[in-house]
Amino acid sequence: ARPVVGRTAEEADALYRELTELVSLDNALSMLARPFNEYDFSRHDPDGAFPLEAAAFGANSNQSAVNRIVAAVKAENLTLRETALRFATPRGHFVGAPEAVADSLQAWFEGRAADGFVLFESLPGQLEAFVELVVPILQARGLFRTDYEGATFRESLGLDFPANRHAGALAAAE
């Protein structure tokens, strides 16, 4: 998950816009090509209409993504540039104020859509913001531990220490 956490929803929106502005048009076009079976969007005017004929290339690729993108293009009359930049950095479920991000994580976890999360820092300072703002909410809800049971990762997971196979072989040889 790439959480984008702001102290307010407005701050999170601003941070998300900052994240989207970091993507170059070339990278966005390349990312857009994936569900369209690597269709070459670079041959079209980026400020022109989205080439709807590209949808046929996605028929044997990721149809659900293609259908979602084409629906947005038609509903909002998006240019190729607007489409590429929007779908290169899709707004995930974990963008918002701390409560909203915690609510989304909780819904995914309790809905059994995830049994844990791997976090990526989307912008500098976002991991720190997540730890300071979201983790205490998850801890208060009993969804994130406040302490570890053991002194090692293995002990905290409740795993036995494995026998050393080499020491066992030496003992058996004697």
pLDDT digits (tens, 9 = 90+) for 68-88: 999 999 999 999 999 999 898
Question: Which three-class secondary structure string do you get for the chain?
Answer: CCCEECCCHHHHHHHHHHHHCCCCHHHHHHHHHHHHCCCCHHHCCCCCECCHHHHHHHHHCCHHHHHHHHHHHHHHCCEHHHHHHHHHCCCCCCEECHHHHHHHHHHHHHCCCCCCCCCCCCCCCHHHHHHHHHHHHHHHCCCCCCCCCCCCHHHHCCCCCCCCHHHHHHHHHC
Taking residues 114-136, what's their average pLDDT? 92
> Which pLDDT does position 1 carry in this prediction?
78
More confident residue, 21 or 60: 21
Q: pTM of the full predicted structure?
A: 0.69
Residue 121 confidence class, pLDDT cut points 50, 70, 90: confident
Taking residues 147-173, what's their average pLDDT? 81
Q: Is the model's pLDDT at 150 over the cut of 90? A: no
